[in-house]
Amino acid sequence: MKRLYAIAAVLLITATILAQSPQRISYQAVVRNASGKLVQNSNVGIRITILQGSISGTAVYTETHNVLTNVNGLVSLEIGGGTTTGNLSDINWANGSYFLKTETDPTGSTNYSIAGVSQLLSVPFALYSQVAGNGFSGDYNDLVNKPVTDGSETKVQAGTNIAVTGTGTIPDPYIIKSLNSGSSGKITITTSQTWNVPPAVSKIKVELWGAAGGGGGAGAYSYSYYYDLVNGGRGGSGGFAQKELNVTENQQFNIIIGDGGAAGINATYSYPGWYGDTDGGDGGDSWFGTLIKGAGGTGGKRGSYTNYTVNGSPGTSNIGTITGYSEDPVYNILTVFQGLERSYISDRYFTSKPGKGGILSGYSGTTAPTSGEGGCAIITLFE
């Protein structure tokens, strides 16, 4: 009986992950005849079969060779370089264990009489690294459909009352700003109305002023021939209230802005005295819903009310987190909350300006009283 002694291990010609792995496995064996003598310098026929799973498993690859032994009976070949019935590259080396079956005909024909089976161990499985290499070579630029890195891979889109600048890169990062912050986010309201919270606003600060009283008309306290002329009283200033509220988009608020008190009327002379002077009108209250109130000031008294001038009172029944009023409307300064300018009147402090009282100067001339200033609301919007 003829025998085959395979003395060399199966070797894989390795390649790095960045290169194409060669689809060849080096194989060597020493061929002896039935007497144990070397088969020297002779052609031998060899059939290589790769089995999957076991020594009797499914053949996944087969090839044949006709090679020449050397003086030592050694035969060398490359599995993958013979006459094949399959593709070595199609083998999924990760799919279970594999076995190498060799069949030899020492006469150089295809009457294979010597057979042997051995398990392929770790080295051939380096071919599997090629599969992983095809997944990702290690070079980012080798990827297909790779994401861009110019800043557009992250989309930031501005919404209502929002501004977005920058490209999303390190030198020029995205910056998101609310357009409602600062003075650009303030709304001034001077007439009564129903007001809706704008989109993308979740908080507001309301500053509210009541209207001021009108000035009283001048008159004579005594209607006798010896009259005593008395100036009309000035009106009381409007009160102030401030509060911050959490709100929702399109939420409705009923806003009432108080009207300024009407001016009184000075007396006119009709023998034997001055007659017909009237009080100044009261300033109206301002409301933001039912949550905030700026109280109106009262009107100044007419000159004939008493023998000295009587001014109107400031609005004191204010409702809010911060409230205040001006005790002395001449300076237009709130007693409790002062030092901030009313947005649409930049030259004076927070208060509604009271009306001036009328003046009589005997028969030679008069100064008419004036009406009080109306209320106001300033709403600051926050994102």
DSSP structure string for 86-123: S-GGG--TTSS-EEEEEEEETTSSS---EEEEEE--TG
Q: What is the pLDDT of residue 340?
A: 42
CA 25 and chain centroid, separation: 58
Q: What is the pLDDT of residue 83?
A: 87
pLDDT digits (tens, 9 = 90+) for 253-312: 999 999 999 999 999 888 877 889 999 999 999 999 999 999 999 999 999 999 899 999
Q: What is the pLDDT of residue 259?
A: 96
Please say if the pLDDT value at position 77 is more than 70.
yes
Higher pLDDT, 59 or 224: 59
Average pLDDT across the chain, whole number = 79
At 379, the amino acid letter reads: I
CA dist 13 → 62, 82, 91 (Å): 19, 16, 16
Per-residue tokens: 211: 């209207």
Per-residue tokens: 6: 């395979």
Question: 344: pLDDT confidence band, cut at 50, 70 and 90?
Answer: very low
Provide the whole-model pTM: 0.51
Per-residue tokens: 135: 């997944």
Please say if the pLDDT value at position 363 is more than 80.
no
List the one residue out of 237, 367, 368, 358 whose CA is nearest residue 304. 358
Q: What is the pLDDT of residue 360?
A: 87
Higher pLDDT, 18 or 293: 293
Question: Which one of 2-11, 19-28, 128-137 scores highest in mean pLDDT?
Answer: 19-28
* Whether the Cβ atoms of residue 302 and residue 219 lie closer than 8 Å to each other: yes
Mean pLDDT of 367-378: 91
Least confident of 31-35, 123-127, 235-239, 374-378: 123-127
The ranges assigned to domains in the chain are 3-137, 183-382
Of the chain, the percentage scoring pLDDT greater than 90 comes to 36
Secondary structure of residue 376 in the 3-state scheme: strand
Of the chain, the percentage scoring pLDDT greater than 70 comes to 73
CA angle 317, 323, 327 (to 5 degrees): 70
Whole-angstrom Cα distance, residue 272 to residue 226? Answer: 9
Per-residue tokens: 175: 């910056």
Please say if the pLDDT value at position 141 is more than 90.
no
List the one residue out of 255, 232, 357, 373 whose CA is nearest residue 315. 373
Higher pLDDT, 208 or 325: 208
CATH of domain 3-137: 2.60.40.10
* Whether the Cβ atoms of residue 235 and residue 283 lie closer than 8 Å to each other: yes
| Side-chain half-sphere CA neighbours of 287 within 13 A | 10
Higher pLDDT, 14 or 85: 85
At 32, the amino acid letter reads: R
Whole-angstrom Cα distance, residue 255 to residue 292? Answer: 10
Please say if the pLDDT value at position 187 is more than 50.
yes
Whole-angstrom Cα distance, residue 55 to residue 98? Answer: 8
Whole-angstrom Cα distance, residue 80 to residue 101? Answer: 14
At 160, the amino acid letter reads: T
